[in-house]
Structure 1
Amino acid sequence: MISATLILGSIASFVFHGGLRYGIDFAGGSQVIVLFAERPDLDVLRDTLVAEGIEDPTIQEFVAQPGREEVLIRTPLTDEGNTGLLGEIYSALKVFDPVEMGVGQELDFNTVSREIVASRLLEVNPLEFNTVVDIDDARAEYERVADLALSARDQVGLLSSWDAVEGTDIDPRILSWIQTTFYFGGYAVVGQDFVGPQVGADLRLQTAYAMFWALLGLLAYITYRFESRFGFAAVAALVHDVLIAVGAFSITNREFNLPVVAAFLTIIGYSLNDTVVVFDRIRENRQIQRRMPLAESINLSINQTLSRTMLTSGTTLVVVLSLFFYGGPVINNFAFALLIGVVVGTYSSIFVASPVYYELAKRAIAKKK
């Protein structure tokens, strides 16, 4: 009854929400991780993104390292399915640039690319190369200097002073030009990604294949190690676990992405481990006490393995709860899937797998009579 209620609730949630809320891995879109000099106002950032024409941006604080003010911005695909939204995100972020800049300071050192620094150096030519004769040497030197200057920035992600750049062996003439040309913006993009619609569709299909082949392989293994009835009962419990776990994501409207798929495959393995322990004891008791009724043999086996199951699940649950509450937003959905999986997997190994095996075995016994 409990399982039926949960599964029906999951199906109803799928219908109500129109399916899962896929992350960028499956739905496609743009993703940018931004490091800010100061804690940003997320409402201002969201309003600015919407003003740039980005519908339904997802913004969340992203704690990769303590003390860093990072924000994760996700945007859906445009109708054309192109990468145009990345440019709109960069345009929206300019609201966090300093209001006043020095005379001649026209480029943000925290966001400028190596190619732009090298090309501008070649134009200005502070080292006074003869660009007619030594153009290749000049280009190579300015590219080296651009790498050297920006490597100081990349080590920390965001600069607010020239100290780190001054600590390099850059020629004073180039350093002077850099300080008069660049300003320090209030943000830096430290990571970006784009997934197209075709890639997202392919990943969804591959995920379905991964689940299918995992279940088929486990069915074959359990059938080989035990018998077919055990195999079908185990797979029934695994399908039960995955359906309820996926339903939990639909009900809570959580994002479904590749790390969550990894968590589901972990759930399959964890749930199967509990089920195999119970099945092994059932088989053992059936061989030792052949005259004991099937239902009593299964009940005895469950009681004999119950303490082991509860201790294992309890200790695992403590770790998963720690990940869920203290692991941060990056792995929160992963931990949520494991949390649901541990609870449901423990329940199904006792209340789903064993009853399904009982029904299959009872029918087989009835046919022999």
Structure 2
Amino acid sequence: MSEIKDMNFMGMRKIAAALSIVLILTSIGSLIFQGLKLGLDFTGGTLIEVAYETSANVNDIRKTLEVNGYEDVTVQHFGSEEDVLVRMKEAYRANLGDEVLLVLQNASEEDVVLRRAEFVGSQVGEELRDEGGLALLLALAVVMIYVAARFQFKFSVGAVVALMHDVIIILGFFSLMQIEFDLTVLAALLAVIGYSLNDTIVVADRIRENFRIIRQMQPIDVINRSLTQTLGRTLVTSLTTLLVLLALLWVGGELIHNFALALTIGVVVGTYSSIYVSANILLYMDISREDLLPPEETEEELDDRP
């Protein structure tokens, strides 16, 4: 059986680098000038839960509230098709829940019951935002230490740059599209870091192994061979994960829609970055076989052997 021919992944590394730079600059620009559309978890506001007798149409409820002057309203099913959770940035008032209930009752032919009306403070949202950002930075720092200890410093730089690349592009997408950024999306970002890191480590492990066993080959060719050998595993993992995420996007409901969307983007971008970002960084840092060979023992260490 003939050996599979190595694919020239790195032949497109300059185009990939230019694409990544454009995406990152666009994302950063959008984050600076437009910002994220922060959800109620971060900005503070009012939570109202109501119950219908039969299945409720969240789109009709949202339109009804907007027509009656309530702005920045998010409506989603909560637990069942009959239970509805309304999130609004309007400041909490003692009778706000009753006002919303009256509007919904007038627009519906069935009885609507108010389950609860609560206030989410902006101070709590600020703490969540700060702690979430700290969690992301801590995750990147731990990744860099782990990869440097397991592989080599150049690999850790490539891994962290790839992860930062993924996170910035996801944030940029949510900023450009003005899709609500809440705690579920923050959780998805942390999950993307884990997914992308796993893919990057698999590729890095094969690159290290090939550098050690292949002597007469240029670094770019070693990396191309390593990427070719791991391509099947990468595609199978990514496609099966995407099938689950697409199912969540279509039938998972509004409650986890943004979570599934962030993960879907993360899987696509993470697969791309494992090939064209982390490996590209290794070439720019002049990775070589000597970087991955264990250090030679000194004469003193040889003399100290029993």
TM superposition score normalised by structure 2: 0.81
Compared with structure 1, are the counterparts of its residues 222 and 47 closer, same or farther at alpha carbon in structure 2 (3 Å cutoff)? same
Residue 357 of structure 1, CA deviation: 1.4
Q: Name the counterpart of 2:224.
A: 299
Change (3 A) 1:186 1:46: farther
Distance 1:214 1:192, change over 3 A: farther
Which runs of 5 or more residues in structure 1 are unaligned? 100-184
Q: Is 2:50 the counterpart of 1:34?
A: yes
Cα 1:77/1:91, change in 2 over 3 Å = closer
Moved more, 275-284 or 31-40: 31-40
State the match for 1:58 in structure 2.
73
Q: Which residue matches 2:40? A: 24
Q: 1:92 aligns with which of 100, 125, 131?
A: 100
Specify whether residues 258 and 205 from structure 1 end up closer, same or farther in structure 2 by C-alpha distance, changes over 3 A only. same
Alignment of 1:271 onto 2:193: no
State whether structure 2 residue 25 is matched by structure 1 residue 8: yes
> For 2:79, what is the secondary structure of its paired residue?
coil
Distance in 2, matches of 1:89 and 1:57, equals 16
Q: Would you say the 8 A contact 2:154–2:285 is kept in 1?
A: yes
Structure 1 counterpart of 2:249:
324
Displacement of 1:46: 2.9
Change (3 A) 1:71 1:284: same
SS in 1 for 2:95: helix
Distance (Å, rounded) in 2 between the aligned partners of 1:29 and 1:228: 45
Aligned 8 A contact 1:57 1:73 in 2:
no
**Which amino acid in structure 1 is aligned with residue 193 of structure 2?**
I
Mapping 1:190-201, distance limit 5 Å = 190-201=115-126
SS state at 1:72 partner: strand
Give yes or no for contact 1:264–1:337 (8 Å, CA) kept in 2. Answer: yes
Given the superposition, is the C-alpha separation of residues 222 and 93 from structure 1 closer, same or farther in structure 2, using an over 3 Å criterion? Answer: same
SS at match of 2:216: coil
Could you tell me how far apart the structure 2 residues matched to 1:96 and 1:241 are?
A: 41
* 2:208 corresponding residue in structure 1: 283
Structure 1 moving runs of 4+ over 4 Å: 38-41, 96-99, 362-366
- Distance, in Å, in 2 between the alignment partners of 1:325 and 1:9 is 28
Please say if residues 96 and 186 of structure 1, whose CA atoms lie closer than 8 Å, have aligned partners that are also in contact.
no
Q: Give CA deviations for 1:192-246 in whole Å, capped at 9, x if unaligned.
A: 4422121111111101100000000011110111011101110000000000011
Any conservation in 2 of the 1:242–1:264 contact (CA below 8 Å)? yes
Structure 1 equivalent of residue 275 of structure 2: 350
Question: Per-residue deviation at 1:87?
Answer: 2.4
Distance in 1 between the 2:117 and 2:99 partners? 15
Q: Could you tell me the percent identity over the aligned residues?
A: 41
Task: Within 5 Å, give how 1:110-189 maps onto structure 2.
Answer: 186-189=111-114
For residue 67 of structure 2, what is the aligned residue in structure 1?
A: 47
Higher CA-based Rg: 1
Amino acid at match of 1:47: V
For 2:42, the aligned partner's letter is F
Structure 2: 5+ residue stretches without partners? 1-17, 292-306
1:72 aligns with 2:88: no
Q: Which residue in the other structure is 2:303 paired with?
A: none
Q: Is the 8 A contact 1:63 1:329 kept in 2?
A: no
Relative to the length of structure 1, the TM-score reads: 0.68
